[in-house]
Amino acid sequence: MKKTVLAIDLGQTWGRGTIAETDGEKITLKEIIRFNNTPVKVKGTLYWDVLRQFNQIKKCIIAARPYKPQSLAIDTWGCDFALLDRNGVLVGNPVHFMDERTAGMVDYLNITEMPLERLYEITGVQVIGFNTIFQLEALMVNHDIQLEIASEMLFMPDYFNYLLSGEDRTDPTIATTSQMIDAKTKLWSREILDAIELDRPHPAGIAPSGTVLGPLLPELAKSMEVEPLDIVLGCGHDTQCAIAAVPAEENEDILYISSGSWCMFGTELDEAIINEKTAKYNWSNETGFGGKTTLLKTMIGLWLMENCYHVWQNEGKNYSYLDLAEMAFATKPFAAMFDTMWEEFAGGDNVPARLRDYFEFTGQEIPEGCGGYIRAIHESLAMKFRSAKEELEEITGKTYKRIYLVGGGCRFKTLAQFTANATGCEVISGPVEATSYGNAIVQLVAKGDLEDLAAGRRLIRNSVELTVYEPQNVDEWDTAYEQYKIICARGR
């Protein structure tokens, strides 16, 4: 019997509703609505347009009427949150994680409230300035009046679930991004909450990913003229949805890259690894579906290419993304490389100009045209992946021969082939729409239509055409990698 679910994904710049249908053998996706999701800057603060987002979510539900989905789940970016008063009313516009309010908050917490070493020892989460804990610190340091009014904190997917179902719960995948979860207990750390003196707003209660919260509120179902459907607390963090869709074999040591505006490079483990090496290299132990630990590193990804694209569009250079990728293949290899996590990229504007500054500062030649810049981005990302792989092998004591590349990066054979060349690994590319596939299979497990995550991954393997890239010119890439490390050291 055919089963149908609605997956709603909210990314940094877009959102979409996707219908997923399965007959038990294969699963198919159909995008039914896509909408702009860009943040809004008001008086120097960058906000998410949250009420418009909720309206778009309702449009997704209405557009799904002909398909009669049995459930829906929502996934979003990590870290950001909504604050509610004691009546469940939003007390302010949720702020975007790229807003500058968290500047200096990492050092402030380290000096005044809890050493970063202890914070990492408890959470095992990569210290990044936009994590929820530092956003809350910014509110407290600035004596924001919202904290006097707010009673509860809900992460963005949880807030939308609350509006749809009336239930206020969070799941471990999105809660982990706060850097306030104890990695051992998978619960809120009392030590951290006490250290930052967070009495209010209190974080939502944690329920397992794949919990059915309940039906769509009757008044909403009536106003949208839709049949009842269940609201599922899925993997609220979009990264964990994408990881759930990695089409790996059962019991395989998974090495994956979830590639989008940001890239997450990592592996899947039964338990967290928190030690001197993971702290030194700043790796995150995040909770995945089914209680798995995903040991990963977050790094800037295709946002570098996306920014270049928009800058060049404004200059009248009307290339498509695929045009740029093809142009990259035709340019000189290793003409210029860079550290993709260079701190100057945090400014968020005119990446081509910032790259030119980096290349000049490090004594490299300027790449040829737009294709040269894209090649530099893809080569440098591949080198960053190799560096992460070496760190991970040192941490786990394992040797990895295969990498699964999922997400938007699958569209670019340059990135996939360069990753194979740089790492010496076989790269299996696909699916592109990993987040939607993962969102869907979590719902199907929640509703009892799939036995477990392994069954969901088998379903994806049966349904998606995967592309395999074998390493090429390995000696040449080994030599270039040594040069890359010298360049990165020079650029610090």
Residue 427 has a pLDDT of 98
Model confidence at 38, in pLDDT bands (50, 70, 90)?
Answer: confident
Instruction: Enter the tokens of residue 41.
Output: 């800057």
Residue 454 has a pLDDT of 94
Contacts of 352 (CB under 8 A, 6+ apart): 308, 311, 312, 373
Residue 63 has a pLDDT of 98
Residue 13 has a pLDDT of 78
What is 246-430+451-492's CATH topology? Answer: Nucleotidyltransferase; domain 5 (3.30.420)
- First CA to last CA across the chain, in angstroms? 58
Which residues are designated catalytic?
238
Mean pLDDT (whole number) for 123-150: 93
Model confidence at 348, in pLDDT bands (50, 70, 90)?
Answer: low
Query: Each residue of 80-89: pLDDT tens digit?
Result: 999 999 999 9
pLDDT above 70: residue 347: no
List residues bridging with 266 in a β-sheet.
256, 296
In the chain, CATH 3.30.420.40 covers 3-238, 246-430+451-492
The whole-model pTM stands at: 0.94
pLDDT above 70: residue 346: no
DSSP H or E stretch at residue 446: helix 434-446
The rounded distance, in Å, linking the Cα atoms of 215 and 210 is: 14
Residue 340 has a pLDDT of 93
Query: Each residue of 131-143: pLDDT tens digit?
Result: 999 999 999 999 9
Instruction: Enter the tokens of residue 321.
Output: 């993304």
Percent of the chain with pLDDT over 90: 86
Residue 14 has a pLDDT of 87
Mean pLDDT (whole number) for 336-356: 85
Query: Each residue of 198-253: pLDDT tens digit?
Result: 878 999 999 999 999 999 999 999 999 999 899 999 999 999 999 999 999 877 78
Residue 492 has a pLDDT of 79
∠ Cα 303 131 262 (to 5°): 20
Q: How many residues does the structure list for the chain?
A: 492
Superfamily of domain 3-238: ATPase, nucleotide binding domain (3.30.420.40)
Contacts of 308 (CB under 8 A, 6+ apart): 324, 351, 352, 370, 373, 374, 377
Query: Each residue of 189-210: pLDDT tens digit?
Result: 999 999 998 878 999 999 999 9
Residue 254 has a pLDDT of 83
Mean pLDDT (whole number) for 11-36: 94
